Amino acid sequence: MIVGIIPARLGSTRLPGKPLADIGGRPMIYHTYNSASGSKLIDRLIVATDDEVIYNTVKEFGGEVIMTSSEIKTGSDRIAATVNQLRNIDIVVNIQGDEPFIPWRMIDKAIEPLLFDKSVQVATLVKRITDPVEYMSPDTVKVVFDYYNYALYFSRSPVPHVRDLGDPAEIVKNHTVYKHIGLYVYRYSALMKFTAWSQTDLENLEKLEQLRMLEKGIKIKVVETDEESIAVDTLEDLKRVRKLYGFEE
């Protein structure tokens, strides 16, 4: 069985109460759930939360939700705790709760490598960077990968560093550089290993938990997409999403 899990908690530092933020009269978590439910490959979609208000909200709009401990600190750990309450799970999809209009096609595209190649343990999405501001921003996670589309490294720094070009606009114009889109697909066993390990050195330096997998030897398959999914991290992001999708304040 393929299960999609959307971790959701109220304790966002930059946008408190984020999963319940209003977008067109509906909470953000509704839109994320609704968008992800379009997947043709996910058999079961679940919100994992530690908050009773979110729990009741999801129940009210007819979604499936599971309560998890408030002591869980990361989305990946919350997903693992949720999966431990389920049976017969083969593949787990980590869907970010703050991407309310993620195209379902992106989700299915990330799942496909695990269906076609049994050696793939984890897959994620990347998109080519065309904006030099994104390339330079520490808020945009960059990724470099090998000729077999396995990630070599993720960084908040502009990688690869192009030694012969100093102008970011020229770099993104003349070279293929990629940003990471934080949707992950795990085989059950890979998720359990990953979440059982302690944080690693590079993970702590970059504040990127996917580096724990690379440091521990789990290869991450990357899949390129041309589609975009906007993450809502701040009030400005929320206003932009409302306007972009026709929900004016």
Does the residue 160 lie in any domain?
Answer: no
Does the residue 141 lie in any domain?
Answer: no
Residue 248 has pLDDT above 70, yes or no: no
Does the residue 33 lie in any domain?
Answer: yes
What separation, in Å, do the N-terminal and C-terminal C-alpha atoms of the chain show?
A: 40
Percent of the chain topping pLDDT 90 = 82
Which CATH number fits the domain that encloses residue 42?
3.90.550.10
Residue 249 has pLDDT above 60, yes or no: no
Across the range 124-151, mean pLDDT stands at: 96
pLDDT digits (tens, 9 = 90+) for 90-115: 999 999 999 999 999 999 999 999 99
Q: Are 31 and 101 in contact (CB under 8 A)?
A: yes
Residue 33 has pLDDT above 80, yes or no: yes
User: What residue numbers bound the domain in which 88 lies?
Assistant: 2-124+180-244
Preceding omega of 160 cis (within 30 degrees of 0):
yes
CA-to-CA distance for 198 and 209, rounded, in angstroms? 10
Q: Which of 217, 219, 209 is nearest to 76 (CA)?
A: 209
Number of domains observed in the structure of the chain: 1
Does the residue 54 lie in any domain?
Answer: yes
CA-to-CA distance for 210 and 222, rounded, in angstroms? 12
Q: Token pair of 205, please? A: 């330096």
What is the b/e burial string over 3-31, where b = at least 16 CB atoms within 10 angstroms of the residue's CB? bbbbbbbeebeebeebbbbebeeebbbbb
Q: What is the pTM of this model?
A: 0.93
For residue 35, how many C-alpha atoms fall within 13 Å in the half-sphere facing its CB?
Answer: 23
3-class secondary structure, 48: strand
For residue 63, how many C-alpha atoms fall within 13 Å in the half-sphere facing its CB?
Answer: 27
Which of 24-33, 39-48, 237-246 has the weakest average pLDDT?
237-246
Does the residue 235 lie in any domain?
Answer: yes
Does the residue 198 lie in any domain?
Answer: yes
Which pLDDT value is given to residue 13? 67
pLDDT digits (tens, 9 = 90+) for 54-97: 999 999 999 999 999 988 888 899 999 999 999 999 999 999 99
Does the residue 97 lie in any domain?
Answer: yes
Does the residue 113 lie in any domain?
Answer: yes
Residue 12 has pLDDT above 60, yes or no: yes
